[in-house]
Structure 1
Amino acid sequence: MSVTPRLPQAEFYQLAPAARDALIALGKAVDESGLEKELTELIKLRVSQMNGCAFCVQMHIGIGRKLGVKGSKLDLVAAWADADIYSARERAALGWAEALTDLAHGEAMDKAFAALQQEFSQKEIAHLSAAIANINAWNRISVGFRFAPIL
């Protein structure tokens, strides 16, 4: 399989500036919601791993490092359910991120939502869900066009 970009990121931005701006605006709304940036970066990283988006995995590891997220949390996020280093709040968010990314498992979604309600307000749940939807959209664009990771 070729990993040559189908469309470079910069060209996508030129061709679809309104789409780019809308996704950026959604991300900004989440950033301004009061949710912890470290938490949203963990869910963006986990969703990007699930979707096989090398560009986004690399980007969110880098952002997480700059924010001071512990290296062990970044390293183990793919196996968060089996690692005891995540808080109840992080675990609930990661479970919800997985449920919204893999929609085929309704029972898992019910369980994830119940855990989420124990740790987050309704407003936080709404913004967390928007963050998860946003990274899924970015992943599909990045994977579809094979955006190259910035190393």
Structure 2
Amino acid sequence: MASQPRVTAPQQQTGNIVRDSALGLVPETLDKYMDLTRVIWEGGLLNPAEVEIARLRNARKVNCVFCKSVRYDIAVADGLTEEKVQMIDDDFQQTSLTDREKLILAFTDQYLNDPAGLGSELKEKLLQEFTPEELVHLSMAVAYFNGFSRCAVSLGGMPDELPVMQISVPQ
């Protein structure tokens, strides 16, 4: 991980972990990002714990230290536990996650590795468990998470590890 930042965070700190990162250098863009974050978490068809499972799988695949350490409070309130978070690994199929949660992880992996290569077996399972609208929400959430975690990684300056921290959906 690049511990030297490629871009320095704003001098004036606000107390908001996202606004105080390098993303805070472009508040006009960041404000739209915060709006979209709220819609993904609060306006979609998937519940917050399901959204968080996809976000954390993306964070693990991209290796975004910040994203891996964050837990959204709305997902924790919805029942996401650290025990469940520990199951979001490469052996998730062998865990006690629900079939729906395992499908979210399988879809996220497929999306990140080969979005056009969705096999007929996975497609059939997804359509048995999720509505088309839920799959669109999941697709858009994963695309969003992937873009911003890659942005964070590319900007550098992250430590090798961070403690688990809970944050709120931006208001």
Shift in Å, 1:117: 1.1
Shift in Å, 1:146: 2.3
Q: Which has the higher helix share?
A: 1
Unaligned runs of 5+ in 2: 10-17, 164-171
Distance 1:115 1:14, change over 3 A: same
Instruction: Give TM-score, length-normalised by structure 1.
Output: 0.82
Partner in structure 1 of residue 36 of structure 2: 26
Partner in structure 1 of residue 6 of structure 2: 6
Partner in structure 1 of residue 94 of structure 2: 82
> Counterpart amino acid of 1:52?
N
Partner in structure 2 of residue 60 of structure 1: 71
How many pairs were matched up? 148
> Counterpart amino acid of 1:120?
F
Partner in structure 2 of residue 131 of structure 1: 141
Distance 1:145 1:122, change over 3 A: same
TM-superposition CA deviations, 1:10-38 (whole Å, max 9, x none) = 35333322332333333222221231101
Contact in 1 for aligned 2:47/2:78 (Cα 8 Å): no
Greater CA drift, 91-100 or 7-16? 7-16
Greater CA drift, 51-60 or 25-34? 25-34
Unaligned runs of 5+ in 1: none
- Where do 4+ consecutive residues of structure 1 move more than 6 Å? none
Structure of greater Rg:
2
> Is the counterpart of residue 112 in structure 1 residue 116 in structure 2?
no
The 3-state SS of whatever aligns with 2:80 is coil
Identity %: 24
Contact in 2 for aligned 1:56/1:139 (Cα 8 Å): yes
The 3-state SS of whatever aligns with 1:125 is helix
Shift in Å, 1:114: 2.8
TM-superposition CA deviations, 1:74-95 (whole Å, max 9, x none) = 1111131221x11121111111
In 2, Cα distance between equivalents of 1:17 and 1:114 = 42
Greater CA drift, 11-20 or 41-50? 11-20
TM-superposition CA deviations, 1:50-109 (whole Å, max 9, x none) = 0010110001387754554132211111131221x1112111111111111112771xx2
In 1, Cα distance between equivalents of 2:77 and 2:4 = 29
